[in-house]
Chain A
Amino acid sequence: MARLTPENEILAREIIGRYPRPKSALIPLLHLAQEQDGYVTDDAMAHIAELVGVTSAEVLGTCSFYEMFKLHPCGRYVINVCTNIACMLCGGDELLHHAEETLGITAGATTPDGLFTIEAVECIAACTEAPALQVNYRYRYKVDNDAFDSLVDDLRAGRLNDEIPPHGTLARVRQHIPDDKRAFIVSPEEAAAAGEPAWMHAHETPSVEGGA
């Protein structure tokens, strides 16, 4: 259960192939696991460890450092209410309080139906739009109590399904480097052996090849 699916394993290998060292892919791969299951499962971490060539403990070591990775199931919608300085000055704490009252849970908890998790978070870089929140990392600006209530209604009714995917999905566009376009992704050792890049002396003297 909950190892990466065959499709995701293919994606995982592609992601690993974009880095000079496989371990550099750990964070994107943990995101992929969280996208698949809504949180990061032990089995997924074991699978990632195999793919990257490190121990499961090393994967957990990285995973547990970063707040976005959830090691236990959380709500389909994770609502992050900013309580840092700019939002605090403009009603962030009051918005958090309203969210807790409305959903009947305290920050950090998940509603019994598994639909909502509330988190009180630090600055989300929307300071001029305070108080701000994110639902699964999608922004809502200048949120008052009414706006929060209709947001919750819309989420419950599925009216925002197109805009807000379930927790775990970040960008819905993935980077893809076609094989015929790829330049030079190799290990640092191989790159060292190759030495100075080919273009470093381009256009240095009028007779240099370079350019075209």
Chain B
Amino acid sequence: MTESLLSVEGLEAWYDESHILHGMNFTVGKGEIVTLLGRNGAGKTTTMRSIMGLVRKRTGSVRFGAVETIGLSANQIARAGIAFCPEERGIFSSLTVKENLMLPPVVAEGGMSVERVYELFPILKARGASQGTKLSGGEQQMLAIARILRTGAHLLLLDEPTEGLAPVIVEQIGQIIEKLKEEGFTILLVEQNFRFAEAVGDRHHIVEHGQVIDSFERHEVEANREKITGYLGV
């Protein structure tokens, strides 16, 4: 494994009184695509939201590069260079496509130029003046990914980017994720769709009851297919 960019140790999190994460442990190496797999309610999204600082009550350690982020607020964590693409895309209906795209502030140098973003996602240029939520589901997903590429963040948290999308769109999203990896982005991916996850992921962590209960490198997937599908209940 390469040098780790994100390292999560003993992460626990609560929503009000419910204890959701019970000590998550995993690392994401620089330039890797790492997936969190698991059934509904296992704690994958809560893990993402905890890393991002959106779950108020959390303990343990989340180190991003040399920075310990467990005590930081969401905006400070984002400024440190982590970008978030939430479940259900989070496109703002009161903003145009262009405004949605330009919304996240630049947090570091080296982000994609707007021209490059338009090259990857030509539809966003053509539909720039439309209301954000007037785009199709697939286009909204493209927009949700596109807008965090401009910011200069190097770690992207993608929460179920294929949810509810047609297979042809899922394939496009897969190609985009591959391209992002080539460009040096590090990606932590939450997925329900295991076929998609295994196609793009370098490493997979199985999450159950708020813990990582098993992990597989890309080359170990084939030999453990039955075990993995057992975990996921597919």
Report if A and B associate in a common complex. Answer: no
Interface residues of A (CB under 8 A from B): none
Interface residues of B (CB under 8 A from A): none
